[in-house]
A and B are shown apart, each in its own frame.
Chain A
Amino acid sequence: MEDCLAKKMEITVSEAEKRTGRNAMNIQETYTAYLIETRAVESQTEGQCAPVESLWRRYSEFELLRNYLSVTYPHIVVPPLPEKRADFVWHKLSADNMDPDFVERRRIGLENFLLRVASHPVLCQDKIFYAFLMQEGGWKEMVNETGFQLKADSRLKALNATFRVKNPDKRFTELKHYSDELQSVISHLLRVRARVADRLYGVYKVHGNYGRVFSEWSAIEKEMGDGLQSAGHHMDVYAASIDDILEEEEHYADQLKEYLFYAEALRAVCRKHELMQYDLEMAAQDLTSKKQQCEELATGTVRTFSLKGMTSKLFGQETPEQREAKIKVLEEQIREGEEQLKSKNLEGRDFVKSAWADIERFKEQKNHDLKEALISYAVMQISMCKKGIQVWTNAKECFSKM
């Protein structure tokens, strides 16, 4: 963590702006642009503030950056982006991408993403990431020039590998199960939380009706009037207080959501391992079969039934020269194959080692972050309870004066 970018530079996503422009298909569209501001942290010089550099980026550029990082560093659990569309909304929350509250929460999420990348020991050193922060023009071209899209594994290949791999590292298999279950449980939690928020909103808001009726009632009373009237006012305060309470809770939901999406990143690393392992197994299998073929040709025995064997029986065997040539080719292939297998093995082991190191780092980060999130949630609940006690105590005092 010593020389990660986050320590050297302040990064903020400070503003969001609605823009209209033409997209790749030359169609007019509205989108939101986010202002990224960076400033070098000058720890030695006092009283001197480094200049703020800034540039605008839109969400699709963030996506491009993340895709690039995922492909280029498959052994790293790459931080996720905030959601593209609003999910897990409860009825008061808008599902509209242009809604200012959604944009604001997204702004915070994007800033969080950048800070996560900047504090990652490996990712923060990436040049494309640096350029994303500093270089407005020509960045897209720069990314595409890396040719990262070619390195990307096809979904189909990955799926195939998952089913067919024989000997993956057990830890990765376990991790994959864990990330599946984590995703499922956090989704469930977010869904129920949204419903809880909805219902709580209902309870608070109905109390506002007390405010109105107490006020009307106080009009016909003599001695009771004042007490009722002021108690009614407190009921209104109570009903209104839920808006702020639930807005704060959205922040907690966002923290959970980040880890929901992190589960996907974990799975991606496991998938990569399975792919590499499958590749290795296929290469080994291929090598074995070639060696077998070679042996058969050399000794003239046919162990398994083959079309070649049949045709040679029917049309006569090949000449010794032909056989020699074939053996030579195979031997060359076997040599290449052995080289490849060796390097694939090495690659595989390196991947497992570095991936597992990052996974351990991730686990610690996750435990720390989620504990913090739970603490802040508990603090929110405590604050809500205290507010409730306050309001009802005030109301009780008003009633006592009736």
Chain B
Amino acid sequence: PLPEKFVVKGVVDRFSEEFVETRRKALDKFLKRITDHPVLSFNEHFNIFLTAKDLNAYKKQGMALLSKMGESVKYVTGGYKLRSRPLEFAAIGDYLDTFSLKLGTIDRIAQRIIKEQFEYLVELREYGPVYSTWGGLELELSEPLEGVSACIGNCCTALEELSEDMTEDFLPVLREYILYAESMKNVLKKRDQVQAEYEAKLEAVALKREDRPKVPTDVEKCQDRVECFNADLKADMERWQNNKRQDFRQLLMGMADKNIQYYEKCLTAWESIIPLLQDKPETK
């Protein structure tokens, strides 16, 4: 799927650096996926998209195609109801439903964490300077207190970086996968339509009570279509599952990494002021 057109939450400046960067990364991924796909990458239209200097010339041609597609979509969705999905596809459907749900929950949790971290950051930003103020009152304790203040400041910066990373790298990828799951669900629906069409035609033939033992050609074509579709879908799904596994492994390891880095930065800050705190003043 394409990355989201509009950002759902809040008003985002479409020309802001962060947004453009996030979208660039997502579009890059989108193109890579198509390139990796055994079928899609050979698509003529994709080729044109990549190479044509002026798309407008092709758009006119494309219009014809689009309108044809539009018709066929209508044709397909018109009136064909599937009686029952074969088990294996039902399982895929269920899986995708639950998967979307869980990803949605994770998205919400991640957002909540970012929000809580923001609130925490607000308080920390007030906390650090108070040590500095206190240091101003003292003589011998002045340096240690200033040190603590600076340390807290460093932790604030580290936290900011963590939240930024999560917002820019983690959430968009997560959301993209939710859209991806939706895409796959639509493909499943399409499959259902194709099967429904076939079954309806079959029924129609049976009702006509024709003596011809041979099945009419267009029904045969439908059957072919169904079998092809099913085979393609299963292959696609397997590839999707593999990619998903890789992508999520990378995504979650990345999340863990960012948290580790945050804590390491804070650790360094605190460890560095221990000698400062233990230092005895040279002269009295």
Residues of A whose CB lies within 8 Å of any CB of B are: 178, 181-182, 185-186, 188-189, 192-193, 195-196, 198-200, 202-203, 206-207, 209-210, 213, 216-217, 220, 223-224, 227, 231, 367, 370-371, 374-375, 377-379, 381-382, 385-386, 388-389, 392-393, 395-396, 399-400, 402
Decide if A402 touches B119 in the complex (CB within 8 Å): no
Contact indicator B112/A213 (Cβ below 8 Å): no
A-B CB proximity, top 7 nearest: A396-B256, A199-B120, A385-B267, A388-B263, A399-B252, A217-B102, A392-B259
Given contacts A213-B102, A220-B95, A381-B266, contact A399 B256 (CB under 8 A): yes
Bound complex: CA A384 to CA B188 (Å): 48
Q: Is the CB of A385 within 8 A of B270?
A: yes
Shortest A124–chain B CB gap in Å is 26
Q: Is the CB of B120 within 8 A of A371?
A: no
Chain A residues within 8 Å of B245, by CB: 223-224, 402
Q: Is the interface of A mostly helix, strand, loop or mixed?
A: helix
Inter-subunit contact B106/A213 (CB<8 Å): yes
Contacts of A207 in B (CB 8 A): 113
Q: List 26 A-B contacts (CB under 8 A).
A: A178-B137, A188-B130, A189-B127, A199-B116, A200-B120, A206-B109, A206-B113, A206-B116, A220-B99, A227-B249, A371-B144, A371-B278, A374-B277, A375-B274, A378-B274, A381-B270, A382-B274, A386-B263, A389-B260, A389-B264, A392-B256, A395-B252, A396-B253, A399-B249, A402-B245, A402-B248
Tell me if A189 and B131 are in contact (CB < 8 A): yes
**Scoring B residues 175 to 202 as 1 if CB is less than 8 Å from chain A, else 0, what string do you get?**
0000000000000000000000000000
Give min CB distance, B101 to chain A, whole Å.
9
Closest to B242 in A: A223
> Chain B residues with Cβ under 8 A from A198's Cβ?
123
The reply to whether A206 and B270 form a contact with Cβ atoms under 8 Å apart is: no
Q: Bound complex: CA of A200 vs CA of B263, how far in Å?
A: 14
Across the interface, B119 reaches (CB within 8 A) one of A199, A367, A377, namely: A199
A203 close to B116 (CB less than 8 A)? yes
Contacting residues of chain B (89-122) with chain A, CB-CB under 8 angstroms: 95, 98-99, 102, 105-106, 109, 112-113, 116-117, 119-120, 122
A402 and B252 contacting across the interface, CB-CB below 8 Å: yes
Whole-angstrom CA separation of A382 from B275 in the bound complex: 13
Nearest CB of chain B from residue A398's CB, rounded to whole Å: 9
Complex CA gap A185/B132 in Å reads: 10
| Nearest A residue to B148, CB-CB | A374
Q: Closest residue to A220 on the B side, CB-wise?
A: B98
Question: Measured between C-beta atoms, what is the minimum distance from B114 to chain A in Å?
Answer: 10
Task: Contact check, A189 vs B130: say whether CB atoms are below 8 A apart.
Answer: yes
The answer to whether B131 touches A196, judged by C-beta atoms less than 8 angstroms apart, is: no
Chain B residues with Cβ below 8 Å from A402 are 245, 248-249, 252
Residues of A within 8 A of B120 (CB): 196, 199-200, 202-203
B123: chain A residues at CB < 8 Å are 192, 195-196, 198-199
Contacts of A203 in B (CB 8 A): 113, 116-117, 120
Chain B window 253-279, contacts with chain A (Cβ cutoff 8 Å), 1 for yes, 0 for no: 100110110111011001101100110
Instruction: Give Cα A400 to B106, complex, Å.
Output: 19
Q: Which residues of A contact B28 (CB under 8 A)?
A: none
Assembly CA distance A370 to B144 (angstroms): 10
Nearest opposing residue in chain A for B252, CB measure: A399
A202–B112 Cα gap in the complex (Å)? 10
The reply to whether B270 and A400 contact each other, CB–CB distance below 8 Å, is no
Apart from A213-B105, A217-B106, A381-B270, what are 4 other A-B pairs with CB-CB below 8 Å? A178-B137, A186-B134, A385-B263, A388-B259
Question: Which residues of chain B have C-beta atoms less than 8 A from A181's C-beta?
Answer: 137
Instruction: Give the distance in Å from the alpha carbon of A223 to the alpha carbon of B117 in the complex.
Output: 32
Q: What is the CA–CA distance of A203 and B116 in the complex, to the nearest angstrom?
A: 5
Question: With a CB–CB cut-off of 8 A, which chain B residues contact A385?
Answer: 263-264, 266-267, 270
CA distance A386 to B117 in the complex (A): 19
Which of B249, B271, B273 is within 8 Å of A400, CB to CB? Answer: B249
What distance in Å separates the Cβ of A193 from its nearest Cβ neighbour in chain B?
7
Tell yes or no: B220 within 8 A of A by CB. Answer: no
Residues in A whose Cβ lies below 8 Å from that of B277: 371, 374-375, 378
CB distance from A177 to the nearest CB of B (A): 9
Nearest neighbor of B103 in chain A, beta-carbon distance: A217
Q: Which residue of A lies closest to B144 (CB)?
A: A374
